[in-house]
């Protein structure tokens, strides 16, 4: 098991250095980190609330990437951001529902199961941290305050929240 974790971490860090020079609305490194977080949490049997944080963050990351790509290609249509956002959430939630992963009969919070609540919270946290990063960067004449700040802020917030929730749930 330790060998698998070290192997995955090694290739994640290699991916970090190969992809980091490119700049996107949400950097590829964030998406790789979020994707790795989802895989690790399910593999390790982490609570669905925490897994949902990472799923929600990954969805928001992909939404931001897609919207940025459409903007770069000058592709515009009415309600594009809303349509892209709904499409990604439906692409994630519908398969999870039909496989029985989401939609348990015993609700966790406001008639939603833990994974759904986690997806909502993770989506909001990732979006807020990206907006906060943009605000701080603009405030600092278009420069980040430290290297990889764009990665550290949203992923760091998700890690801290995951640790907090894991302590709270035990």
Query: CA-to-CA distance for 15 and 166, rounded, in angstroms?
Result: 28
Query: pLDDT at position 98, please?
Result: 82
- Rounded to 5 degrees, φ, ψ at 80 are -60, -45
Please compute the mean of the pLDDT values over residues 107-132 and round it to a whole number.
89
* Residues 6 or more apart in contact with residue 18 via CB below 8 angstroms: none
- Beta carbons of 161 and 125 less than 8 angstroms apart: yes
Q: What is the pLDDT at residue 19?
A: 41
Is the CB of residue 32 less than 8 Å from the CB of residue 62? no
53 vs 110, residue with greater confidence? 53
Q: How far is 120 from 155, CA to CA, in rounded Å?
A: 16
Instruction: Please determine, for residue 161, whether its predicted confidence score (pLDDT) is greater than 90.
Output: yes
Mean pLDDT, rounded, for 7-26: 44
CA distance 66 to 151: 18
| Structural domain spans, the chain | 26-169
Please compute the mean of the pLDDT values over residues 134-156 and round it to a whole number.
Answer: 91
Q: Any idea what DSSP says for residue 112?
A: B
| pLDDT over 70, % of the chain | 75
106, two tokens: 């015993």
Residues 59 and 88: beta-carbon distance below 8 Å: yes
Compare 85 and 104 and report the one with higher pLDDT.
Answer: 85
- How many distinct helices (H) and strands (E) make up the chain? 6, 0
Model pLDDT, residue 39: 65
Percentage with pLDDT > 90 across the chain? 39
pLDDT digits (tens, 9 = 90+) for 25-63: 455 565 566 556 666 776 788 888 888 998 899 899 889
């Amino acid at each position: 098991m330790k060998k698998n974790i070290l192997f995955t971490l090694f290739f994640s860090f290699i991916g970090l250095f190969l992809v980091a020079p490119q700049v996107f609305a949400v950097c590829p490194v964030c998406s790789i980190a979020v994707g790795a977080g989802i895989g690790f949490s399910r593999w390790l049997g982490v609570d669905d609330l925490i897994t949902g944080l990472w799923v929600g963050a990954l969805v928001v990351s992909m939404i931001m990437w897609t919207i940025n790509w459409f903007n770069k290609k000058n592709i515009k249509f009415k309600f594009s951001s809303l349509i892209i956002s709904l499409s990604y959430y439906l692409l994630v939630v519908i398969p999870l529902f039909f496989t029985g992963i989401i939609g348990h009969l015993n609700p966790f919070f406001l008639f939603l199961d833990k994974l759904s609540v986690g997806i909502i919270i993770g989506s909001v946290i990732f979006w807020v941290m990206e907006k906060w990063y943009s605000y701080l960067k603009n405030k600092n004449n278009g420069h980040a305050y430290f290297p990889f700040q764009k990665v550290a802020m949203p992923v760091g917030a998700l890690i801290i929240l995951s640790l907090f929730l894991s302590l709270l749930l035990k």
